[in-house]
Amino acid sequence: MVRYRVTLTKTAAEALQGIEKRAQKQIINKLRDLEESPLDRGAALLGELQGYRDVRAAGQRYRIIYTVEEDRVVVLVVYVGIRKEGDKNDVYAIAKKLLRAGLIDLK
């Protein structure tokens, strides 16, 4: 079985550091799971985030947004955060804002 290397963007690493330690530990465990079959573990995103995937972590409250670079055997985590539907601090709202600002590379 192919093992993918999981890397975090600077923004994702900073977001992860800001999460409380218990949830952070659970998120890190989920990141390790992405080393194997990352395309089977997450759900494909639509709309502005098409081409990215997400997986739930830490009691389903947090989301890890990532893309899979199959040619390089890399999982690139672009953002990690809490799901707050309708809130400006929602993980998807922040990811879209980063994408629009050019701080997340398009596939």
58 part of a folded domain? yes
**Distances 81 to 56, 72, 93 between C-alpha atoms, Å:** 10, 25, 10
46 part of a folded domain? yes
pLDDT tens for each residue of 24-79: 999 999 999 999 999 999 999 999 999 999 999 998 899 999 999 999 999 999 99
60 part of a folded domain? yes
Nearest to 12 by CA among 70, 67, 61, 58: 67
106 part of a folded domain? no
Q: Where are the alpha helices (DSSP H) in 20-86?
A: 21-33, 38-41
Range of the domain at 25: 5-101
pTM over 0.85: yes
Backbone angles phi, psi at 59, to 5 degrees: 70, 30
pLDDT tens for each residue of 48-62: 999 999 999 998 899
Alpha carbons 22 and 19: distance in angstroms, whole number:
8
